[in-house]
Chain A
């Protein structure tokens, strides 16, 4: 499917505003798919840097971008998740990420979860699993930590839990994964 990105623009009130916005975006090299009062749809890949560029281009004309509440929420969740699963987080007993998230963000879990799934096209749970797996890989390759250490740092209930999830995600056992990468490292040293 073709990528699209919707932006909400503040300050558009008439036809002239629409043509101004269109000119500005054309000049900046964005492909506008649809422009209406207050919202535009761009086709193609859109990154965070583009967001800033659009904002800068539109500012002299008195327009500004409205931050999407849902996207903001999703970004907040990701940031929190990164903090928690950094390896240095001091997990309390009975730690539950959804609960922490609801407390920190100040909204019910359902709402946050719905907003996240909507904007990221992946559930918070799945994102968490993937993120944690990536983190495990990182520890396996760059540190000499034992599986038990890693499981503890990333709050897996047991080594078995970590291994099972790792295998489910990557198809490899953690120790196999580690040995492959060590072999790679040594062979690249030798060559």
Chain B
């Protein structure tokens, strides 16, 4: 029995979801970003309780097939951009998603746009800009290193995209000293 959960983006989310499952007394086989595999089918009442517990932490149970696929796309993009493993930038996003979800990209793209109101590409750009913000705040890498680590073809490309999305240049953003980061699941 697989449950689909919205808004899981990191290891802490997995941890919190695990705690909720345990406190709801539901045994599980495994937990990944976006989905949980339960040993048994939960009763309607158990499901209700779990949904309530999850909601308190900003998660949501997804019943709708379409939203489940959209969430899978999001999870794939978030793990790709924010995950620990090195990305293969030669692989196009469309190819990556196709491989991950085993579904036709055209279908995915139309579905995503109609449900979310933004295209997959745009969503990926927003996520990547968020990663840039995070790295800028750490003040460990300079802009060209950041551009390189995120697969931008050049610093100019990154700066342009950053300015277009945030309205600020990366250096201006850094000087602001204000924290303008967004939670990943709110993008």
Contact = CB atoms under 8 A, between A and B. Distances in A.
Interface residues of B, number: 22
A70 B57 CA distance: 36
Given A36-B181, A37-B183, A39-B179, A13 B82 contact: yes
Contact of B10 (A10, A14, A39, A69): A14
Contact of A39 (B7, B9, B58, B137): B137
A29 interface: no
A170 to B, nearest CB: 38
Nearest to A38: B137
Contact of B9 (A13, A20, A36, A68): A13
Given A15-B183, A36-B179, A38-B134, A66 B140 contact: yes
A13 B185 CA distance: 9
B16 A16 contact: yes
Contact of B138 (A20, A36, A38): A38
Nearest to A20: B12
A185 B179 CA distance: 56
Interface in A14-44: 14-17, 19-20, 36-39
Nearest to B140: A66
Interface in B22-59: 57-58
B184 to A, nearest CB: 5
A17 B12 contact: yes
A20 B17 CA distance: 12
Contacts of B10: 11, 13-14, 16-17, 62
A11 B16 CA distance: 16
Interface in A32-69: 36-39, 61-62, 66, 68-69
Contacts of A61: 11-12, 15
A101 interface: no
B139 interface: yes
